[in-house]
C-alpha cells in the first residue's frame, strides 16, 4: 500500500489583496503522489498532484485554494480521528492545572460578606446555641488562621474531595469533606463514584465541561451516590468563606420513581436536614421551590418538566440537573432534553444502568447532553467515528476498515472515560447473596404450533414481508402466540384485509382454549408456582410487556388462590410506591406474587421482598429486560435470587433472544422500543418468523458448542482468539474451489444452487455463533438427560442446578423445558 502522511494546513481562496487572511484549517492527506484536501469537518475539498515533498511552511494550490502546511499529523492521531475533534475534547492533562478556571459564579459569591449567626454582646448567653446542621457558611479557623473544613478530614473513613488548583486572588481553599452521616454508609465503589461526579461537575477533570454520566449497573447505589453529591454541593465550597456551590438542584426521573427518590432522601438525611419538593400532582406550587428558601431539591417526572420548564427559570434558577434513567434522553430532539437544556445550567449528570452501547447516535446524544459540543456536531461525529466503527464490525470489513474502526473506537472510549464511570454488578457479590439467571426454552404445545404455522404458511404471508408496518404487527401477534394462543381471542379481526388473511386458517376454538393446555410457557410457570408455594416461603415477581399477558398471569394466580399485587401503566403514580412497600413488607401468605409491567415499572423499583423473578417474554431492547431483572438483587436482599427468562423453543421468542446477544448495532437493536423491520431484508424476516420444532435449542446449535448440552460451562478466550471462525476468516472464503472446464450439458444447476445456498447458510451460522460468545459463560443443559438413564452424569448436572424448585419441574414426566442456560453471579 502507498505510504500515507497527513498534515494540518491553513487554507484560503486565491486573492491579490495585500493583507491576506486564512479561510480555515484543514487536513491534507498525501498518498500515491496526490494530495487530498479535507476541511476540519472531514468534507473533501479537492485533490492535486505533487512533484516535491511538503514540509511545514510549504504552500501549494489545491482545486483553486491556496494551502500552507502548518504541521505534520502522526498516523496514530489521524486513525483515532483527533484532528476532527474539537480542541476542548482532548485537552492534555499536563495543561489541566494551567488552563482550568473556577466556576464563574464564585467571584460574585465571594463579594457577599459572611454573616455571623448570632450577635455577640454583653447580653449574649455564656453558652451560645450550637446549630447541629451547620447551615451557616462561616467556618472556624485554627489558632494560626488556617481555615478548618466543615467535617474532620482526619476522621477514620473520611471522604475528602480534590482541591482546585487555581483559586481567586487573595482567597484560600479549604477541604470539602463528605458529611459523615452519609460517608459512613458508602462502600468503596460508591466513594469513588461520588469523587468522580464531584470532579466532573466542578470542572476538575481534563475536558472542557461540567457534565458526567454515572453508568453503574443496576443495584450499585447510584441514588445514594447522587444524594451524597448533592448534599456536599449544597453545603460546602472549596473556597473558604464562599457560599455553597449550588442552591437549587433538580432531579428528573420517570414518574414511578418520584416517591422512591423522596423515600431515599428521608432514609439517608431524615426529614429536617433538607427540603425536598415533589411535583407529582396539580396542587404543587412551583414558586415555593423557585422563590422560597425551604426547598433545595425538586423531584419531577420527565413529562411534567416539559410543562413547567419556563416557571423553573424564575428566582435563583437551577444549579444542577440529575437525569435519572437518563438513557431516555437518547435523541437531540427529545422534548425533555430540550427542556433541561433551556434551564441553562452546565452541571448535568445522567444516571443510567443500561447506557446505549451499540447505537452510537444515541450515545452521541447522551454525551452532547452532559457536555455540549465536546464531540463536535453529529454529522461530523457520524462521518469520522460512527460510520468507521460500524463499518469495521461488518462481516465484509477489510483489514483497513477494521484497523480504522478499532482506532476510532479506542479514541472514543479514551475520551469519554473522563466523564463516564461504569462498574458492573460483580461488585455486589461481596455484599449481597448469590444470584443465578436461568434461560428456560419451553417447548410449544400442539395448539401453538398449529396457530404459528397457519400464519407463516398463509398465502398472505409473503405480502406482509414487503410491508414494514404489517411486519411490525405480525411480530407483535407472533410474540403473543409464543405466550399463549388465547391472547389472539377477539383480536383476529384487525380491520386490515392482509392481516385478517393471515388468520383465515386458524381455528377460533384454539384461541379460546385453556391457557394451561395451549401454552408451553404457561404450563411451565404453573408448575413452578405450585412447587414454590408448597415448598418455600419465598415470593415471586412476574414481568411482562403486555397488559393482556399480565391479565393472563393474573387469572392463573386467581385460579390457584395465590395472593398478588399488580403495577402497570394504569396504576396511579401516587399509589405505586405504596404497592412496592406493601409487597416488600408482607409475608408470602399475605402477598405471594407481584405482577409488573416491564415498561411502566421495570426501572428503579426495589422489589427486595421477592427472591424469584420470571420474565415471561423478551423485549427487542435488551435494556428493558436488564432493568426488569435487576429489581431483586439490590441492597436489602437477604435470600439467594433466581431469575427465569421464558422463551418458546424455536419461535420468535428465541430469535429475538439471539439478536439481543449479537453485536450488530442498530440493525438488530431497537428504534423507539420497537423492532425496526426497515433494517431487515426479506430473507432475514423469513428467518425471524420461521418455526423450528426439531431442535431442542436452536441458539445452542448456532453457538457451535460441542458439549451436547451436558452441563458444559467454559469462559471465552480473549477477543480475537476465539476457536469459532468468523465468516470472514472461513477457509472456504479464503480458498474457494478453482473453476474447471466441463461440458455445459453436465452442469447440474439445481445442485449448484443448493451448494451456494448451503455455503451462505454456513457462513450465516458461523457469523451468528461468533456474535453469541457471551453464552459460553453459561452452563448448557439439554433436559433430555433427565429422562435418560444418565447415572453419575445426571447427579453432576443436578448438583450444578442450585435450585430445588427448577429441579422438581425438570424431573417431571410432563416437563416442557427443552433446554436450560444457567449463569451464577
Could you tell me which of 138, 103, 132, 12 has the C-alpha nearest to residue 65? 12
The answer to whether the Cα torsion of 591, 594, 600, 605 is positive or negative is positive
Q: Any residues with CB less than 8 A from the CB of 579 and at least 6 apart, and which?
A: 565, 566, 567, 571, 594
Q: Based on the number of CB atoms within 10 Å of its own CB, is 592 exposed (0-12), middle (13-18) or buried (19 or more)?
A: buried
pLDDT digits (tens, 9 = 90+) for 743-777: 556 556 666 665 555 555 444 444 444 455 667 77
What confidence tier does 149 reach under pLDDT thresholds 50, 70, 90? very high
CB atoms within 10 A of CB 29: 17
Is residue 325 over pLDDT 80? yes
- The two beta strands, 249-253 and 564-567, are unpaired
Q: Any residues with CB less than 8 A from the CB of 770 and at least 6 apart, and which?
A: 722, 724, 725, 726, 727
679 vs 499, which has greater pLDDT?
499
CATH architecture for residues 158-426: 3-Layer(aba) Sandwich (3.40)
Question: 250-264, 478-492, 564-578, 610-624 — which is least confidently predicted?
Answer: 478-492
Question: For the chain, what are the domain ranges?
Answer: 4-73, 158-426, 516-692
List residues bridging with 66 in a β-sheet. Answer: 12, 61
Question: Would you state the pLDDT for residue 456?
Answer: 85
- pTM of this prediction? 0.68
The answer to whether the Cα torsion of 251, 257, 258, 263 is positive or negative is negative
Could you tell me which of 786, 792, 733, 720 has the C-alpha nearest to residue 762? 733
Is residue 169 over pLDDT 90? no
Cα–Cα distance for residue pair 572/581, rounded to 1 Å: 15
Report which secondary-structure segment, H or E, holds 478.
helix 468-483
- The two beta strands, 297-301 and 320-324, are unpaired
Q: Between the ranges 229-243, 278-292, 699-713, where is the mean pLDDT highest? A: 229-243
Is residue 104 over pLDDT 60? no
Q: What SS3 state is found at 171?
A: coil
pLDDT digits (tens, 9 = 90+) for 674-720: 344 444 556 666 778 888 988 888 888 887 777 877 766 544 433 33
What confidence tier does 135 reach under pLDDT thresholds 50, 70, 90? very low
Q: Any residues with CB less than 8 A from the CB of 127 and at least 6 apart, and which?
A: none
Beta strands, E only, 449-553: 540-544
118 neighbors 128 (Cβ within 8 angstroms): yes
Cα–Cα distance for residue pair 337/367, rounded to 1 Å: 12
Residue-averaged pLDDT of the chain:
79
Question: Would you state the pLDDT for residue 743?
Answer: 58
CB atoms within 10 A of CB 269: 19
Question: Would you state the pLDDT for residue 199?
Answer: 96
Alpha helices in 561-649, H assignment, sequence order:
573-585, 598-601, 622-629
Name the packing angle between helices 520-535 and 804-811 (round to 10°). 130
Question: Would you state the pLDDT for residue 6?
Answer: 59
Beta strands, E only, 518-671: 540-544, 564-567, 593-597, 612-615, 641-648, 670-671
Is residue 128 over pLDDT 60? no
The mean pLDDT value for 315-338 works out to 85
Q: Based on the number of CB atoms within 10 Å of its own CB, is 484 exposed (0-12), middle (13-18) or buried (19 or more)?
A: buried
Q: Per-residue DSSP letters for 734-790?
A: HSPPPP----GGG--HHHHHHHHHHHHHHHHHHHHHHTTGGGGGSEEEEGGGGTS--
**Matching CATH topology for 158-426 and 516-692?**
yes
675 neighbors 620 (Cβ within 8 angstroms): yes
Question: 40-44, 224-228, 586-590 — which is least confidently predicted?
Answer: 40-44
The set of cell numbers assigned to 466 is: 414487503
249 neighbors 241 (Cβ within 8 angstroms): no
Could you tell me which of 608, 223, 633, 218 has the C-alpha nearest to residue 429? 633
Cα–Cα distance for residue pair 156/552, rounded to 1 Å: 55
Indicate the CATH number for domain 516-692.
3.40.50.300
The mean pLDDT value for 588-595 works out to 95
322 neighbors 252 (Cβ within 8 angstroms): yes
213 neighbors 421 (Cβ within 8 angstroms): yes
Cα–Cα distance for residue pair 33/763, rounded to 1 Å: 40
What are the helix and strand counts (H, E) for the chain? 32, 24
List residues bridging with 690 in a β-sheet. Answer: none
pLDDT digits (tens, 9 = 90+) for 332-361: 678 888 999 999 999 999 998 876 655 788
752 vs 647, which has greater pLDDT?
647
Could you tell me which of 709, 698, 693, 729 has the C-alpha nearest to residue 778? 709
For cell 471462525, the residue is 725
The three-point CA angle 354-356-362 to 5° equals: 140
Cα–Cα distance for residue pair 573/395, rounded to 1 Å: 47
Is residue 378 over pLDDT 70? yes
Is residue 98 over pLDDT 50? no
Cα–Cα distance for residue pair 529/170, rounded to 1 Å: 71
Q: What are phi and psi of 271, to 5 degrees?
A: -90, -20
The set of cell numbers assigned to 160 is: 475528602
Cα–Cα distance for residue pair 488/464, rounded to 1 Å: 18
Q: What are phi and psi of 384, to 5 degrees?
A: -95, -20
699 — alpha (psi -120 to 50), left (phi > 0) or beta? alpha
What does DSSP assign to residue 160? B
Amino acid at each position: 500500500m502507498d505510504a500515507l502522511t497527513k498534515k494540518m494546513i491553513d487554507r484560503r481562496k486565491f486573492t491579490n489583496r495585500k493583507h491576506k487572511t486564512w479561510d480555515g484549517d484543514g487536513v491534507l492527506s498525501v498518498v500515491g503522489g496526490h494530495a487530498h484536501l479535507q476541511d476540519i469537518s472531514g468534507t473533501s475539498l479537492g485533490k492535486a498532484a505533487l512533484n516535491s515533498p511538503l514540509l511545514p511552511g510549504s504552500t501549494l494550490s489545491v482545486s483553486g485554494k491556496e494551502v500552507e502546511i502548518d504541521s505534520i499529523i502522526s498516523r496514530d492521531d489521524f486513525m483515532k480521528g483527533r484532528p476532527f475533534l474539537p480542541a476542548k475534547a482532548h485537552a492534555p492533562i499536563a495543561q489541566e492545572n494551567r488552563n482550568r478556571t473556577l466556576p464563574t459564579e464564585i467571584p460574585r459569591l465571594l463579594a457577599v460578606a459572611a454573616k455571623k449567626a448570632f450577635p455577640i454582646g454583653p447580653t449574649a448567653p455564656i453558652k451560645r446555641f450550637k446549630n447541629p446542621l451547620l447551615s451557616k457558611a462561616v467556618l472556624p479557623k485554627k489558632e494560626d488562621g488556617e481555615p478548618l473544613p466543615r467535617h474532620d478530614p482526619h476522621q477514620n473513613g473520611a471522604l475528602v474531595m480534590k482541591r482546585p488548583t487555581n483559586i481567586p486572588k487573595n482567597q484560600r481553599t479549604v477541604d470539602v469533606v463528605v458529611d459523615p452521616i452519609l460517608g459512613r454508609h458508602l462502600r468503596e465503589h460508591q466513594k469513588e463514584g461520588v469523587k468522580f461526579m464531584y470532579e466532573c461537575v466542578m470542572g476538575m477533570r481534563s475536558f472542557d465541561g461540567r457534565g458526567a454520566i454515572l453508568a453503574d449497573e443496576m443495584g450499585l447505589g447510584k441514588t445514594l451516590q447522587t444524594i451524597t453529591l448533592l448534599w456536599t454541593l449544597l453545603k460546602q465550597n472549596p473556597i473558604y468563606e464562599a457560599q455553597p456551590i449550588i442552591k437549587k438542584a433538580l432531579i428528573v426521573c420517570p414518574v414511578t420513581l418520584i416517591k422512591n427518590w423522596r423515600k431515599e432522601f428521608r432514609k439517608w438525611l431524615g426529614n429536617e436536614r433538607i427540603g425536598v419538593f415533589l411535583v407529582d400532582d396539580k396542587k404543587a406550587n412551583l414558586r415555593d421551590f423557585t422563590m422560597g428558601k425551604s426547598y433545595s431539591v425538586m423531584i419531577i417526572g420527565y413529562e411534567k418538566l416539559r410543562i413547567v420548564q419556563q416557571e423553573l427559570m424564575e428566582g435563583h434558577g437551577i444549579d444542577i440537573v440529575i437525569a435519572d434513567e437518563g438513557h431516555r434522553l437518547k435523541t437531540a430532539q427529545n422534548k425533555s432534553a430540550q427542556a433541561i437544556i433551556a434551564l441553562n445550567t452546565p452541571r448535568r449528570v445522567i444516571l443510567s444502568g443500561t447506557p446505549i452501547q451499540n447505537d452510537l447516535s444515541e450515545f452521541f446524544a447522551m454525551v452532547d447532553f452532559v457536555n455540549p459540543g465536546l464531540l463536535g456536531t453529529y454529522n461530523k461525529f457520524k462521518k469520522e467515528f460512527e460510520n468507521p466503527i460500524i463499518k469495521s464490525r461488518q462481516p465484509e470489513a477489510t483489514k483497513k476498515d477494521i484497523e480504522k474502526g478499532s482506532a476510532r473506537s479506542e479514541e472514543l472510549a479514551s475520551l469519554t472515560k473522563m466523564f463516564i464511570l461504569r462498574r458492573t454488578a460483580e461488585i455486589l457479590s461481596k455484599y449481597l447473596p448469590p444470584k443465578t439467571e436461568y434461560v428456560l426454552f419451553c417447548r410449544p404445545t400442539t395448539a401453538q404450533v398449529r396457530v404459528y404455522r397457519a400464519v407463516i404458511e398463509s398465502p398472505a404471508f409473503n405480502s406482509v414481508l414487503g410491508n414494514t408496518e404489517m411486519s411490525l404487527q405480525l411480530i407483535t401477534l407472533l410474540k403473543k402466540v409464543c405466550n399463549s394462543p388465547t391472547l389472539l381471542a377477539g383480536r383476529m379481526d384487525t380491520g386490515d384485509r392482509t392481516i385478517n388473511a393471515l388468520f383465515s386458517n386458524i381455528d377460533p376454538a384454539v384461541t379460546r382454549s385453556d391457557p394451561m393446555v395451549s401454552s408451553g410457557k404457561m404450563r411451565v410457570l404453573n408448575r413452578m408456582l405450585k412447587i414454590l408455594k408448597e415448598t418455600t416461603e419465598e415470593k415471586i415477581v412476574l414481568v411482562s410487556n403486555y397488559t393482556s399477558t399480565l391479565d393472563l398471569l393474573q387469572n392463573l394466580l386467581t385460579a390457584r388462590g395465590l395472593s398478588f399485587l399488580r403495577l402497570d401503566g394504569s396504576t396511579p403514580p401516587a399509589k405505586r410506591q405504596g404497592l412496592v412497600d406493601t409487597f416488600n413488607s408482607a409475608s408470602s401468605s399475605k402477598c405471594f406474587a407481584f405482577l409488573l409491567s416491564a415498561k411502566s415499572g421495570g426501572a428503579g423499583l426495589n422489589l427486595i421482598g421477592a427472591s424469584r423473578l420470571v420474565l415471561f417474554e423478551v423485549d427487542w431492547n435488551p435494556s428493558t429486560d436488564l432493568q426488569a431483572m435487576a429489581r431483586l438483587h439490590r441492597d436489602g436482599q437477604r435470600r439467594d435470587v433466581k431469575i427465569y427468562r421464558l422463551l418458546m423453543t424455536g419461535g420468535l421468542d428465541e430469535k429475538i433472544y439471539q439478536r439481543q446477544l449479537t453485536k450488530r448495532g442498530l440493525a438488530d437493536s431497537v428504534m423507539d422500543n420497537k423492532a425496526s423491520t426497515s433494517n431487515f431484508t426479506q430473507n432475514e424476516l423469513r428467518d425471524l418468523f420461521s418455526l423450528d420444532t426439531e431442535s431442542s435449542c436452536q441458539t445452542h446449535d448456532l453457538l457451535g458448542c460441542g458439549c451436547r448440552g451436558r452441563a458444559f460451562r467454559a469462559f471465552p478466550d480473549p477477543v480475537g482468539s476465539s476457536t469459532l471462525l468468523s465468516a470472514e476468516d472461513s477457509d472456504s472464503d479464503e480458498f474457494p474451489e478453482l473453476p474447471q472446464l466441463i461440458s455445459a450439458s453436465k452442469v447440474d444447476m439445481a445442485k449448484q444452487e443448493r451448494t451456494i445456498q448451503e455455503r451462505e447458510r454456513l457462513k450465516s451460522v458461523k457469523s451468528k455463533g461468533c456474535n453469541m460468545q457471551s453464552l459460553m459463560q453459561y452452563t448448557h443443559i439439554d433436559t433430555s438427560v433427565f429422562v435418560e438413564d444418565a447415572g453419575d452424569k445426571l447427579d453432576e448436572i443436578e448438583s450444578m442446578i442450585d435450585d430445588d424448585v427448577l429441579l422438581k419441574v425438570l424431573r417431571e414426566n410432563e416437563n416442557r423445558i427443552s433446554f436450560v442456560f444457567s449463569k451464577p453471579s
